[in-house]
Amino acid sequence: MRIVLGIICVLFGGLGWVGQAISAINFPLAQRLGLQEKSEGIDSVYQQAELNAARWDSFVLWTLIAAGILMLINHYWWPYLSLIAGGIYLDGGGREAAKYLSLRKSGVRVGSSKELKMAATLFILMMVVALWVIIYAMWFLAAQGK
């Protein structure tokens, strides 16, 4: 399971990190690629918040990629970095979902229905991968303690 999860972490983490890096460097390009909501469908304050979030995410989302690489090479640090990465991704997915729901309920334009469905799918995937990584790392560490 470690190898499969390591591959998932590298691929999923890589896609997320690259997407946020593109968004942080060239937000209009990210919008054209469908990585960010189109300007006409969102409030300008929300767009600035998304740009700033992309900058932060491009700084922290590498952790899942690194955890996956450490899993693949079976480095003794993989469970510890997996707990950190899992925590970041679990927080990110849940926080972003809560943000979308509260802003939308308050009447803030946060994207089209299609964009919201895509975002919801991504947030759910983030949380599922995060929980899988956290649970597996905790299980591994608990088994090592026996």
Taking only the tens place, the pLDDT of each residue in 31-64 is 999 899 888 878 888 899 999 999 999 999 999 9
Q: What is the torsional sign of CA 5, 121, 43, 27?
A: positive
Instruction: Give the mean model confidence (pLDDT) for residues 9-21.
Output: 96
DSSP code of residue 35: S
pLDDT band, residue 146 (cuts 50/70/90) = low
pTM: 0.89
H helix or E strand, kind and range, residue 27: helix 27-32
Mapped onto helix, strand or coil, the DSSP state of residue 42 is strand
- β strands within the chain, DSSP E: none
DSSP code of residue 38: -
Mapped onto helix, strand or coil, the DSSP state of residue 110 is strand
Q: Which two tokens stand for residue 82?
A: 């997996």
pLDDT at 30 over 90: yes
H helix or E strand, kind and range, residue 99: helix 78-105
Where in the chain are the domains? 2-144
- The CB density around residue 10, as the number of other CB atoms within 10 Å, is 18
- The CB density around residue 5, as the number of other CB atoms within 10 Å, is 20
- The tens digit of pLDDT for each residue in 86-125 reads 999 999 999 999 998 999 899 988 888 888 899 899 999 9
